């Protein structure tokens, strides 16, 4: 199973980027072909229709291709002002926008439809970014994704990782593993894999 893992942050010391790396490692341990995607590696401008009318940026096509190639996703969502980040929303807006006349990407639903998505979040607050997940869930459902019922919000994230970038608390790691396992299981059933 191909698993795509990404965080809605480009901040160097982002808790959610660290959590995404942990989730990708767990995915590999569970036998998945895990890809850790960094949104900062894509040159994607702020979305607006006039810019899009001049042509879809090449890195948007690259992002669509990466998303499309993976039946299973883990999204690690930071919480800004009680919701997900503008970076994440912008990436999803571009990825869902049809490319007029393109043989593959004329259908905006293509990179999202049927993907099984697990949500994780990390925050230094007591809720662990849970409110960002509550806002992100309807957006992903609207795009045609299947959401895994399991989700996990890592609270007090500033002290949650060890010096190697792993989760210091075994119970937290088990929670992340449970989300990854459920996503892989459901994607396997939905996409016909064992």
- pLDDT tens digits, 163-176: 999 999 999 999 99
pLDDT band at 194 (very low <50, low <70, confident <90, very high): very low
Enumerate the domain spans of the chain. Answer: 2-190
Mean pLDDT along residues 28-45 = 97
Per CATH, the number for 2-190 is 3.40.50.360
- Extract the tokens encoding 21: 């790396």
Taking only the tens place, the pLDDT of each residue in 38-76 is 999 999 999 998 988 899 999 999 999 999 999 999 999
- Reply yes or no on whether the pLDDT at 153 is more than 90: yes
Cα(56)–Cα(138) distance, rounded to whole angstroms?
25
- Tokens 């990782």 locate to 161
């Amino acid at each position: 199973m191909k698993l795509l893992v990404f965080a809605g942050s480009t901040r160097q010391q982002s808790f959610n980027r660290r959590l995404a790396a942990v989730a990708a490692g767990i995915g590999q341990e569970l036998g998945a072909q895990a890809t850790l995607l960094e949104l900062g590696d894509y040159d994607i401008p702020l979305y607006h229709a006039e810019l899009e009318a001049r042509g879809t940026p090449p890195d948007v096509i690259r992002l669509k291709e990466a998303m499309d190639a993976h039946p299973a996703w883990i999204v690690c969502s930071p919480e800004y002002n009680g919701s997900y980040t503008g970076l994440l929303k912008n990436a999803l807006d571009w990825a869902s926008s049809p490319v007029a006349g393109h043989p593959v990407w004329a259908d905006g639903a293509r990179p999202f439809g049927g993907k099984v998505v697990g949500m994780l979040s990390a925050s230094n607050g007591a809720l662990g970014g849970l409110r960002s997940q509550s806002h992100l869930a309807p957006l992903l459902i609207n795009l045609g994704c299947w959401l895994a019922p399991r989700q996990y919000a890592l609270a007090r994230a500033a002290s949650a990782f060890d010096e190697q970038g792993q989760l210091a608390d075994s119970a937290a790691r088990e929670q992340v593993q449970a989300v990854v396992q459920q996503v892989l299981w459901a994607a396997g059933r939905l996409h016909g894999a064992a």
